[in-house]
A and B are shown apart, each in its own frame.
Chain A
Amino acid sequence: MTATDKNFLTTSSKSTKVIGSVALAAGALTLIFGLIVAPPHIEQGQSARLLFVHVPSVIATYLSYFITLVGSAIYLRKKSLFWDRVAGASAEVGSVFCAVLLFSGSVWGRPTWGTFWVWDPRLTSTAVMFVSYLGYLAIRRMDMEPAARRRRSAIVGILAFVNVIIVHFSVDWWRGLHQSRTFEPSDVQIEGWYLLSFFFGTVFFVSTQAWLLIHRFRLSHLESQANAAKLDQLIDLRQSGDLGSAQTREKVV
């Protein structure tokens, strides 16, 4: 086995190692600044520290689902497998971040609002967004003709983004409990240590997102290549005279 072969026995590479190191460093800084250096909040006490994971998880979720939108749109135009896989991988990553976003929001809601969950427009639309992308991922795993499945999931990948827009503007469109957006470009209502911790949190989430996206993309590529390799093997077996007895078939598949 040559060195090149060995390199390809994993989904990691030089670039993911660099991105991964950035993520680890930023994660450590988020913990240090977010949990130790930043002082407690004037009203919320310690619980405001959840800001440094909650809001960055929103950013990473939006970004992931946006990449799914772009990948789906390009797939429909160019029918490129590359963009289909980007869209799928990004939705997987985005859904993990969306779970983090829902959980961190929920444990923040209890000590501040007084409840883990309320059917507020922002929370409800976020739950719908989460489920709709899980549905998108389910469609990608459905048993149907591959090209049709790619086309259908691309259409769903585009439609589901409508929900992301609804989530984002829900605090302006309807009355609810959830606070409005803290980070308006013109008017940042956040103080020094909090801003710095939030910055590290954002770097941590976005670099983790990039790292996960690359790995998931490569994994989905490997999965389809592995399936193709299995099929080749089956064909070889048939050609070599072993007519695919149940036992050999089982061994391969």
Chain B
Amino acid sequence: MFEGWEFVTAGYGFTFLVLAVFGYLTVRKGKRISREVPPSKRRFLD
């Protein structure tokens, strides 16, 4: 029977890796940049 695990692994691997890295970089940059902003201006929904 037709297999194809290597393609499944590549697809799932890429998906989870890209989303995790993008999320991690976003959070890390947010932590770094928030230190440069005065506390009164850190609120998000103004």
Contact = CB atoms under 8 A, between A and B. Distances in A.
Contacts, number: 123
Given A57-B15, A229-B41, A47 B31 contact: no
Contacts of B27: 10-12, 215
Contact of B38 (A82, A219, A229): A229
Interface string A76-114: 000000100000000000001001100110011011000
A50 B11 CA distance: 7
Question: Which applies to chain B's interface (DSSP): helix, strand, loop or mixed?
Answer: helix
Question: Which applies to chain A's interface (DSSP): helix, strand, loop or mixed?
Answer: helix
A11 B45 CA distance: 12
Given A215-B27, A219-B26, A229-B37, A46 B3 contact: yes
Interface of A: 1, 4-5, 8-12, 27, 31, 34-35, 40, 43-47, 49-50, 53-54, 57, 82, 96, 99-100, 103-104, 107-108, 110-111, 208, 211-212, 215-219, 221-223, 225-226, 228-230
Interface of B: 1-5, 7-8, 10-12, 14-16, 18-19, 22-23, 26-27, 29-31, 33-39, 41-45
